Structure 1
Amino acid sequence: MSQRNFVDLKGHKESVEQLCWDPKHADLVATASVDKTVRLWDDRTGKCARLVKLSGPNINIAYKPDGEHIAVVNTNNELTILDVRGFKPIHKKKFNCEVNEIAWNITSDILFVTTGKDDKGDEKGIVQVLSYPSLQPLDNLTAHTAGCNCIAIDPCGRYVAVGSADSLVSLWDISEMLCVRTFTNIESAVRTVSFNQSGEYLASGSIDCFIDIANVQTGRTVHQIPCGPAVNSVDWNPTSNLLAYAGDDNIKGIVRVFGFTSAG
């Protein structure tokens, strides 16, 4: 896999904590920022197309697979569901534990929520499984020995990947909810994971100075992208080998989009 070019998306006043591509419009990417806003960008022009300000600093964001809703989590452990057409909140849920990242399954009837510390300050390594749209609890998946920071769903519907503070990424068979593989390519707490559009590759990042891209079936690294001192979020484009990245660097509020000419 070889790296091509990139474009910067500038406009947030503070750091971008996470981003995600619109699954139905491959030129649009949504970003969640500590500046309390959620923005929708057109990567062809580099311009912000939509903006909404929410109640707190935003740290996580995910698209519903049909592209109709966006889930956003802030530092107050509050989950907000946005309607994309009006770009306004339609549901909210407050959690009594540290909420990290969220992801829908491909049929959009289940929402996975990774959690860190509970209300007693203990880390359980649990992924909460909620029904959608009711947001009622269905199950708890004990995935790691430390807090679960991030999650991604294989676009083919086979796997869910969970990144943890224990520096591991676990790969789970969704039909059986069994762990089939762990990735050990990251050396510190895993902050972000993302499958490419074919489900063949998994990108992950941390405070390490690189983004790791691994083959899902073997767990082996196929490419590493050098970057700043910390990676907050990576997300593959839904139709091509474009990888968007946001991180803690010296330039606040910028998203960078990388392209790849080949895979191997």
Structure 2
Amino acid sequence: MAEMEETTVPFKNLTSREYPGHKKKVHSVAWNCTGTKLASGSVDQTARVWHIEPHGHGKVKDIELKGHTDSVDQLCWDPKHADLIATASGDKTVRLWDARSGKCAQLAELSGENINITYKPDGTHIAVGNRDDELTILDVRKFKPIHKRKFNYEVNEIAWSTTSEIFFLTTGNGTVEVLAYPSLRPVDTLMAHTAGCYCIAIDPLGRYFAVGSADSLVSLWDISEMLCVRTFTKLESPVRTISFNNTGEYLASASEDLFIDISNVQTGRTVHQIPCRAAMNSVEWNPKSNLLAYAGDDKNKYQTDEGVFRIFGFKNSA
């Protein structure tokens, strides 16, 4: 039973747990569709899959996914299959893994250093972006490219709408490019920010998308109108990573500031801030509960990468 106070201070008595295991810093964290496993991708050329208990107790089992020969910059889970995960690496490959065995099931060799990867909501296609601003769409069944497009502007992050009819690109020009899918025909250019747009997140209820920018603002957009309805102004550094929680009620955003901001989507007000010790690379809410995974550029006392990520949202045992 939620207490009255919980409605006003939803994250008050919660704490973070640390998960060490990587040898170098963690670039990406992502939950599977059932919220039972978390994957982390690292500069140490590996990904790991962690079985997370909802209360955070017990020994954490993890499986190492080895095979990439460069940094694993981003990863994403099959939205329809709780044990399939795709990884994008600077080694120009995309790999599909079975998280139960830790074995690589499919491999696609592409033309550039991959930095972005996302699944189509029905699980049939994967979109990959590389450092040369080239987009590749892979058919998951054959694991072969079915579409390639090079853009003449800096492409930062990519996302499908929940209906898969729209494909978004955030750009270095401060715009969000709106493309029709599957044609990838340009539909709209949204003048979203005064500096480069780094990251994008889609509200799981399909009402909004949020964009994080180098101007330190996060903008919230109505998907049906393609209009900006609100901005979040708490961060002071370029916004690197954002995520909606499973109900679409809260938005987490992070930057080089030493905290993660959690704001109410409807009011724009901050409801909680999670302190952190370094610039953040990735934040992602669990799809079933208010657990937030986050990873950044943490260093240990010897000034070497810690290779950890953390999960916020566990009950404080004190």
The reply to whether TM is greater than 0.5 is yes
Q: Which amino acid aligns with 2:91?
A: D
Look up the equivalent residue of 2:126 and give its one-letter code: I
- Map 1:204-215; keep pairs closer than 5 Å: 204-215=253-264
The residue aligned with 1:258 is 311
Shift of 1:40: 4.2
Q: TM-score, normalised by structure 1?
A: 0.82
Is 1:200 aligned to 2:255, yes or no? Answer: no
Deviation at 1:29, TM superposition (A): 4.3
Which residue number in structure 1 is paired with residue 165 of structure 2?
A: 109
Determine if contact 2:114/2:130 at 8 Å carries over to the other structure.
yes
Distance 2:248 2:168 in 1: 18
Offset at residue 245 of structure 1 (A): 4.0
**Equivalent in 174, 178, 182 of residue 129 of structure 1:** 178
Q: In structure 2, what is the equivalent of residue 47 of structure 1? A: 102
- Secondary structure of residue in 2 paired with 1:114: strand
Matched pairs, number? 252
Flag the 1:176–1:62 CA change in 2: closer, same or farther, 3 A.
same
Name which of 66, 83, 107 aligns with 2:122: 66
Q: What pairs with 1:11-30 in structure 2 (closer than 5 Å)?
A: 11=66, 12-30=68-86
1:226 aligns with 2:226: no
- Once the two structures are superposed, residues 43-71 of structure 1 have per-residue CA deviations (whole angstroms, 9 ceiling, x without a partner) of 6x593544444222111122211122111
Judged with a 3 Å threshold, the aligned counterparts in structure 2 of structure 1 residues 259 and 224 are, in CA distance, closer, same or farther, namely closer
Q: State whether residues 259 and 273 of structure 2, in contact with CA within 8 Å, keep that contact through their aligned partners in structure 1.
A: no
Q: Is the 8 A contact 2:133 2:155 kept in 1?
A: yes
Cα shift at 1:113:
0.7
Shift of 1:138: 0.9
Deviations 1:139-197 (A, max 9, x none): 11111111111111111011110111100000011122221211122221111212122
Shift of 1:102: 0.9
- Equivalent-residue separation in structure 2 for 1:222 and 1:25 (angstroms): 32
The residue aligned with 2:89 is 33
Q: Which position in structure 1 is the counterpart of 2:200?
A: 151
Tell me what 1:79 maps to.
135
In structure 2, C-alpha distance between the alignment counterparts of 1:77 and 1:173, rounded to whole Å: 26
- In the alignment, the residues of structure 1 paired with residue 15 and residue 119 of structure 2 have an alpha-carbon distance, to the nearest angstrom, of 26
Partner amino acid, structure 1, of 2:226: M
Is the contact between residue 23 and residue 238 of structure 1 (CA under 8 Å) also seen in structure 2?
no
Q: Which amino acid aligns with 1:189?
A: P
Identity of aligned residues (%): 67
Pick the structure with greater CA Rg.
Answer: 2
- 8 Å CA contact 1:20–1:63 kept in 2: the answer is yes
Whether the aligned pair in 2 keeps the contact of 1:16 and 1:247 (CA below 8 Å) is no
Matching of residues 164-175 of structure 1 within 5 Å: 164-175=213-224
1:139 aligns with 2:195: no
Distance 2:164 2:73 in 1: 24
| Structure 2 residue ranges without an equivalent (≥5) | 1-10, 20-37, 41-47, 49-63, 299-303
Gaps of 5+ in 1: 117-122
Q: Which has the higher strand share?
A: 1
> Contact 1:31–1:40 at 8 Å: present in 2 too?
yes
